[in-house]
Structure 1
């Protein structure tokens, strides 16, 4: 498992914890992240994700609810709800490519949810992918996809 995947896994666990126990303080959660991850760089990434989800939680919940036909957040399994919050945050507030976000969220849903969770999470998050992210990752019509990983893109 990659370090970022591990960070996302821990973030979902911490979001679940706070969802069920809203009185848990952020510094306490950050301490738990440090304990579970150990690596400072990865722990900092997890803290950024966790903090971002909390900061934008109301907006994320609105966006999720808007595309989740016939589903309210309260009816969703707590694990699915928090995987969706993390995925929505990464889609809407970070530069992480949408295929990465979707793949990571599906794996988290597979690990923490039930048999239907991966499909449910994928369906909702796919509706939240911003148009500009879709166009960044799709080659122009008729342009072949690279055969291998190729060179890393230049930093912005």
Structure 2
């Protein structure tokens, strides 16, 4: 399933885009994963936002997107660029959108910051997913927001 994606700085996001991206993150990371920690962590304003084209299927709910990720610029989370907040809506899981948007994120990082590598903080149960994208585990497991994570790096 191939989608088109938009890449935006925080200041360039429209209200509909911001709403759709934040809504998907909250729906999954706070509600679905039952994680009562704030999703908005102060890093969004200095990051790039990559998301699938918006849809307006239900006008009572507003704009929505099926896939999103955030790229923190070097120096925000780590010395390297970092991909995080990778999320797909429940309705499209299993269709390859997570892999597809990660490939887009890797492509963006490689073009903007060549030869720096990419570091991520991955939920432990997703290690195989990220290994399929050439990330390697580079830390012991640790708790982040009460969920087991590991750091991974891609050269």
TM-score between both structures, scaled by the size of structure 1:
0.34
Q: Higher strand proportion, which one?
A: 2
**Greater RCO, CA 8 A, separation 6+:** 1
Q: Higher helix proportion, which one?
A: 1
TM-score between both structures, scaled by the size of structure 2:
0.34
